[in-house]
Amino acid sequence: MANYRHHIGNALLVLIALVVGIVLAEGAAQVYAYKVAKLGKLFRPDHELGWSLLPNLDLVRNNHDREPWLTRTDENGLRGPSRFSEDASRRMLILGDSFVFGEGVNIEERFDTLITERFPDLSIVNLGVMGYGTDQQAIRLRAWKDQLRSGDLVLVLTYSNDFFDVASTRHSGRSKPWFALEEGELVEYGPSIGILEQVRDRSYLLAKLAGLINVNDQKDYETRLARAGELYERIVADEIAGLTDEGIEVLLVHHGDHVFDMPFDVDEVFVKTCAHVTSCLALDPYTATLPRDEIFLSDGHWAAGGHKVAAERIGDHLAARFNPRTAKAD
């Protein structure tokens, strides 16, 4: 009996030491994340979208070039205005991922801020969230459709990694909503928010581990990726392009078209998708003419120079459509 108690006691000591070690490691990791690396928490689980931005953020982070950038969100979790100005002659809603959010730059450098400076009568709401694929962007749009009126615009910014996103049911260890083509119909599946999603937002170590492992239940991922171009086209056509029937302009802006090797013809996908929307604009021909370090951060996101180029080209495109006298010649 004494020997049994001795073993139980040792096991408890090992367990206590393990728990204390994990707590200390987590504490040290969070101090490092927030104070040293400046990678403070941005998201919370979302049962409709998978994750969403935290409201009322006032956070300085470091980008991949070790430059600080400020992230502020309002009570609705938007980085920028979360309502349209009643005095605006035209409104524009922007959908996208980290490029639209402006990861790595301050908001005054972001392309939509620069567009607003050029078109003061244009009211812009930016719905960009890091990691969102075109599927999540389309779902995010639904809550805003009633606020749009004839003559307004919806800008969809697509980076080529969106094809990976629409083929995925998880992203960086987070569950996400996704669409599938079943018997020719677009079918939607919601995210599965479980313990992993809840805990990873409270633990820096678990968040890093989940990001590295990126746990997937996607046995058919390669098959889905092969059809990602077709799926992308259908999401835009069925979930976004229908706004044109209500007199709302849909502008599809795409970039980084050939950064990744895809099992389909990306150019053909955009030709087909652009047939559904009001107009399309490819940014690659413009960004390719300038030095890379002027346009991109080291992780591939736009630096301030990239946002400037995007603002200029999108601004010229808008001016040519709505006020040709203000358009710049290429």
Do residues 308 and 170 share a domain? yes
Indicate if 270 and 196 belong to the same structural domain.
yes
Radius of gyration of the chain (CA): 22
Q: Average pLDDT, stretch 244-255?
A: 97
Residues 184, 301, single domain; the answer is: yes
122 and 12 in a common domain: no
Name the residue range of residue 13's domain: 1-36
pLDDT tens digits, 252-302: 999 999 999 999 999 999 999 999 999 999 999 999 999 999 999 999 999
Kindly indicate the confidence band of residue 324, based on its pLDDT and cuts at 50, 70 and 90: very low
| Cα(11)–Cα(6) distance, integer angstroms | 9
**pTM given for the model:** 0.85
- Side chain identity at residue 248, one-letter code: I
Mean pLDDT (the chain) is: 86
Q: What is the pLDDT of residue 199?
A: 64
Is the domain of 220 the same as that of 146? Answer: yes
Helices (H), the chain: 2-31, 98-101, 111-118, 134-142, 162-166, 195-200, 204-213, 221-226, 228-235, 266-274, 284-287, 292-295, 304-322
- Which tens digits make up the pLDDT trace of 73-130? 999 999 999 999 988 999 999 999 999 999 999 999 999 999 999 999 999 999 999 9
Q: Are residues 18 and 161 in the same domain?
A: no
What's the pLDDT at 133? 98
Does 25 lie in the same domain as 76?
no
In this prediction, residue 173 carries a pLDDT of 79
Q: What is the pLDDT of residue 323?
A: 67
- One domain, residues 7 and 83: no
From 201-210, 238-247, 314-323, the region with the lowest mean pLDDT:
201-210
**Whole-angstrom distance between the N-terminal and C-terminal Cα of the chain?**
88
Q: How many domains does the chain have?
A: 2
Q: Which residues of 235-253 are buried (b: 16+ CB within 10 A; e: fewer)?
A: bbbebbbebeeeebbbbbb
Do 92 and 210 share a domain, yes or no? yes
Based on the fold, state whether residues 9 and 95 are members of the same structural domain: no
Instruction: Give 193's pLDDT tier (boundaries 50, 70, 90).
Output: confident
Range among 10-19, 194-203, 210-219 rated most confident: 194-203
Same domain, 9 and 70: no
**The predicted structure's pLDDT at residue 198:** 62
Please spell the DSSP secondary structure of 12-28, one letter per residue. Answer: HHHHHHHHHHHHHHHHH
Give the CATH number, domain containing residue 263: 3.40.50.1110
Q: Are residues 28 and 52 in the same domain?
A: no
The β-bridge partners of 52 are 44
What does the pLDDT read at residue 203?
61
